[in-house]
Structure 1
Amino acid sequence: MKNSNSNSNNHREADPKKESTLTSLDSRFNQTLRNVQGLLKGRSFPGKVLLTRRSDPLDNSSLQERSPNNERSFSDNDIGASEHMDKSVEEDVQSTSTPDDNATVNKLKSSFSNIENTSKEVQKSTMGARATDSARVMKFTKELSGSTVILETLRELAWSGVPPYMRPTIWRLLLGYAPPNSDRREGVLRRKRIEYLDCVSQYYDIPDTERSDDEINMLRQIAVDCPRTVPDVSFFQQVQVQKSLERILYTWAIRHPASGYVQGINDLLTPFLVVLLSEYLKGSVENWSILDLSPEQISDVEADCYWCLSKLLDGMHDHYTFAQPGIQRLVFKLKELVRRIDEPVSRHMEEQGLEFLQFAFRWFNCLLIREIPFNLVTRLWDTYLAEGDALPDFLVYIFASFLLTWSDKLQKLDFQEMVMFLQHLPTQNWTHQELEMVLSRAFMWHTMFNSCPSHLAS
């Protein structure tokens, strides 16, 4: 009996510790849940936090060496926004909880924990600084210096931005155009460039008498669209640049007869042209001249652009076939996701009779190139290309985050005002910081919803 009593006492003494541990875990999880629920209800994002796909810890030694003017951890205000949440958020969570919600919470608990841990990382105020900090550059350099590049590691690094001077090499690798094995890389690129020249000679450098009527009409449409490509960047108005665009687009269209040329593909070519030309032309794009390059250099860039565009579109081919069913499917998913995340703005748009196809079709068709300043496009495409085959589905989350940037504004507009607003979004003064916030929210919503597709069921 004595031993039994002793065991009973020990059991009772252990209970408070166990309860304390459980209480602490529940408290931390509930705090994260309140933060996320607050965001889903349209509240401001807590702190200037960049949620990235990287899992590696920051180098503390490098942080100590950096100037506080260029980088900071959370300020008092940031912490206040994150830790001292309004009581109304907690009340909202408690009042709107349902058994189904609780089941979903259990499924997503590990995802929320990852979000909570990631959100505590020290972040830079702009992506431009983050992409070029010494610790990240060293990781890219180490990965590229090996005999074989581990693409999954490279994707993890590239998702948060690529140093500009490394983009040509890294984009070729991410797209699968250049092989991961460094010994084979030069030979493969040389062979593919010769193959492109053969295609141009066979399909483009021929008289119109050898083309069908459809091919003549397609070439004329491309010739009309090329001067309209990124009209606010003078570099693209140079005659030789437009001829390069024309050759690439026509050759691609002839070799992909299922889709042919579709307006909007010309926009998708421009990030590749700028990035791959940056190996030869330095400084601002506005000051570039294509005439500074030799014919051989222009030919190599054209070939690389052609193959990179081909690799990109291989993963979303039904976006550009007849009736563009791939885009229509993603627009429907976008509508459902917005309804789940921000029901008030979704309901308002529906009441006003605004269809998502009326504005989002162009977003998917041109991948937001026409919606944001061109100097931010290459940063956005770092994330696009890092997503690989998963890009089409991830676009839905990026575009939902992009749209809901103006949630409060949209709810105050009628149909005509919304149409005008969405066609001329006020992004002309955006910096890397605004773009990073869009990507941060997209990453979090993807983490939450992608593993629970029933949330997006009609």
Structure 2
Amino acid sequence: MKGNSGEEVSKRESSGGSSSSLNLDWRFNQTLRNVQGLLKGRSFPGKVLLTRKSEPAIESSVAERSPDIERSHSETDIGPNESIDVHEGKVQSSGNVASDAKVKKANPSSAKSDNADAEPQKSVSGARATDSARIAKFKKELSAQTVVLDSLRQLAWSGVPPYMRPTVWRLLLGYAPPNSDRRDAVLTRKRLEYVECVARYYDIPDTERSDDEINMLRQIGVDCPRTVPDVSFFQQPEVQKSLERILYTWAIRHPASGYVQGINDLATPFLLVFLSEHLEGSMENWRLSDLLPQKISDVEADCYWCLSKLLDGMHDHYTFAQPGIQRLVFKFKELVRRIDEPVSRHIEEQGLEFLQFAFRWFNCLLIREVPFHLVTRLWDTYIAEGDALPDFLVYICTSLLLTWSEKLQKLDFQEMVMFLQRLPTGKWTDQELEMVLSRAYMWHTMFESSPSHLAR
């Protein structure tokens, strides 16, 4: 794509072009540079999408209109151990002194500088300032009399400080009201309503249940011990009992879908986040029995209502035949074909259907595909996406799959099935997850305004 000249930009502005379109172009180019810098020296599927040139005239125009927009690092300052915050259009460094030093060493001009040792320290200080600035923004939004959800959503997309996560999730999911004066009263009422539902539907003898309800409760009882089996906390009987109450109550109150295997996974991030308000230290050392019954009930209620709010936006994912998931898998297949045709062709030639591996990805929202310690960070983005989550999930899955583009093209059918059922993400850190989200955001930005790219 050719860059527009200053004259063309001037004509566009004089003909009524809005500044929002310029901001979108600037933001795209900013994101593109961020990802390119992070990917230096790496092979990358769909690299044709990384060839869009920057538009100097547009950037200059936007810079004049938005003097508050600054880049915290140049393109060459982004090292392999740094993460980026693409949602806000800024580079947010999380690299350490050692990684920064390597970048400076690789830059001849920096090596000649008399302040070579001071630069890494300056970069680290900048990163800390950025983190402090983000926390300050969260505090400002949350301390308002009425929280502006759009602003909070934009902040949360790039990650929420752990101790603020319970409050932010309640607000963005619509469980807690934005008005602080009403918040405590609403939460108290909703928690009491959950207690009444448990008493009415769960705490009753089997003689008062239908055969279908008995079978559903039995299936939930089987699935709870299988939930996140590699995390010892979820193997505690008290935790499994809490999950059982939440899931059964939800299923009874949502008869169109009832309980579907996989929903048990979706309750776990909520349980982890809301328990973090009451239990300290590592999750491995948590004991649910240390909490008073009232606290456990409040946590369960918050999990129940937030799970309900999340699934309200994707209800047909869990109704009969799960048509919502099948629709997303089809879009996933088409997007992979458009971005990385060689991988798409190889998968097709080997006779592997996307449903064979992607159904679980969408059914469990990738909880089983990434290490559990990264799930809450991933869900910050999910919850920030709101009703747009199902569509954006297609881009996240595409980005995840194409992380191993070259490897997949060397595997036969059986090898691909085994590989995709157990992705090598066990040692992933925030850096790898941020890369997946960054690519997804970039591709979504490109294709969202060009739907014809996904047309046959």
The residue number in structure 2 matching 1:69 is 97
Q: Amino acid of the residue matched to residue 234 of structure 1?
A: S
Assess if the C-alpha contact under 8 Å between 1:267 and 1:369 holds in 2: yes
Question: What SS class does the counterpart of residue 133 from structure 1 fall into?
Answer: helix
Q: Measure, in 2, the Cα distance between the counterparts of 1:405 and 1:301.
A: 36
The residue number in structure 1 matching 2:242 is 244
Q: Measure, in 2, the Cα distance between the counterparts of 1:327 and 1:73.
A: 46
The equivalent position to 1:152 in structure 2, one of 135, 150, 153, is 150
The residue number in structure 1 matching 2:46 is 41
Q: Measure, in 1, the Cα distance between the counterparts of 2:434 and 2:129.
A: 12
The residue number in structure 1 matching 2:159 is 161
Q: Measure, in 1, the Cα distance between the counterparts of 2:224 and 2:238.
A: 11
Residues 78, 311 of structure 1: alpha-carbon distance in 2 compared, 3 angstrom cutoff = farther
The residue number in structure 2 matching 1:447 is 445
The residue number in structure 1 matching 2:118 is none
Shift of 1:58: 7.8
The residue number in structure 2 matching 1:118 is none
Residues 78, 301 of structure 1: alpha-carbon distance in 2 compared, 3 angstrom cutoff = farther
The residue number in structure 2 matching 1:384 is 382
| CA offsets 1:267-319 (integer angstroms, 9 cap, x no match) | 00000000000000011111100011000000000000000000000000000
Alpha carbon RMSD of aligned pairs, Å?
3.5
| CA offsets 1:143-184 (integer angstroms, 9 cap, x no match) | 101101000000110000000000000000010000000000
Question: What SS class does the counterpart of residue 418 from structure 2 fall into?
Answer: helix
The residue number in structure 2 matching 1:292 is 290
The equivalent position to 2:197 in structure 1, one of 192, 199, 204, is 199
The equivalent position to 1:307 in structure 2, one of 301, 305, 308, is 305
Q: Measure, in 1, the Cα distance between the counterparts of 2:363 and 2:284.
A: 26
The residue number in structure 1 matching 2:220 is 222
Residues 201, 428 of structure 1: alpha-carbon distance in 2 compared, 3 angstrom cutoff = same
Assess if the C-alpha contact under 8 Å between 1:131 and 1:160 holds in 2: no
Structure 1: runs of 5 or more not aligned? 1-15, 23-27, 81-121
Q: Measure, in 1, the Cα distance between the counterparts of 2:141 and 2:233.
A: 33
Residues 257, 130 of structure 1: alpha-carbon distance in 2 compared, 3 angstrom cutoff = farther
The residue number in structure 2 matching 1:350 is 348
Q: Measure, in 1, the Cα distance between the counterparts of 2:301 and 2:244.
A: 13
Assess if the C-alpha contact under 8 Å between 2:383 and 2:389 holds in 1: yes
Q: Amino acid of the residue matched to residue 215 of structure 1?
A: E
The residue number in structure 1 matching 2:23 is none
Question: What SS class does the counterpart of residue 97 from structure 2 fall into?
Answer: coil
Q: Measure, in 2, the Cα distance between the counterparts of 1:78 and 1:398.
A: 32
Q: So what's the TM-score if we normalise by structure 2? A: 0.78
The equivalent position to 2:361 in structure 1, one of 360, 363, 383, is 363
Structure 2: runs of 5 or more not aligned? 12-27, 38-42, 51-74, 109-121
Q: So what's the TM-score if we normalise by structure 1? A: 0.78
| Matched-pair identity in % | 73
The residue number in structure 1 matching 2:207 is 209
Q: Amino acid of the residue matched to residue 365 of structure 2?
A: L
The residue number in structure 1 matching 2:84 is 50
Shift of 1:432: 0.5
Q: Amino acid of the residue matched to residue 41 of structure 1?
A: G
Structure exhibiting the larger radius of gyration computed from Cα positions: 1
The residue number in structure 1 matching 2:258 is 260
The number of equivalent residue pairs is: 387
Whether 2:406 is the aligned partner of 1:401: answer no
Residues 221, 67 of structure 1: alpha-carbon distance in 2 compared, 3 angstrom cutoff = closer
Residues 70, 259 of structure 1: alpha-carbon distance in 2 compared, 3 angstrom cutoff = farther
Shift of 1:456: 1.2
Q: Measure, in 2, the Cα distance between the counterparts of 1:322 and 1:441.
A: 33
Structure with the larger RCO, 1 or 2 (CA within 8 Å, 6+ apart): 1
The residue number in structure 2 matching 1:90 is none
Q: Amino acid of the residue matched to residue 167 of structure 1?
A: R
| CA offsets 1:211-254 (integer angstroms, 9 cap, x no match) | 00000000000000000000111111111111100000000000
Assess if the C-alpha contact under 8 Å between 1:159 and 1:382 holds in 2: yes
The residue number in structure 2 matching 1:138 is 136
Assess if the C-alpha contact under 8 Å between 2:46 and 2:339 holds in 1: yes
Assess if the C-alpha contact under 8 Å between 2:247 and 2:259 holds in 1: yes
Q: Measure, in 2, the Cα distance between the counterparts of 1:365 and 1:317.
A: 11
The 5-angstrom pairing of residues 17-32 of structure 1 reads: none
Q: Measure, in 2, the Cα distance between the counterparts of 1:227 and 1:214.
A: 21
Q: Measure, in 2, the Cα distance between the counterparts of 1:135 and 1:443.
A: 23
The equivalent position to 1:174 in structure 2, one of 165, 172, 177, is 172
Q: Measure, in 2, the Cα distance between the counterparts of 1:421 and 1:382.
A: 27
Shift of 1:450: 1.1
Whether 2:436 is the aligned partner of 1:438: answer yes
Question: What SS class does the counterpart of residue 398 from structure 1 fall into?
Answer: helix
Q: Measure, in 2, the Cα distance between the counterparts of 1:175 and 1:18.
A: 45
The residue number in structure 1 matching 2:183 is 185
Shift of 1:68: 6.0
Shift of 1:41: 3.3
Assess if the C-alpha contact under 8 Å between 1:131 and 1:162 holds in 2: no
| CA offsets 1:402-449 (integer angstroms, 9 cap, x no match) | 000000000000000000000111111000000000000000000000
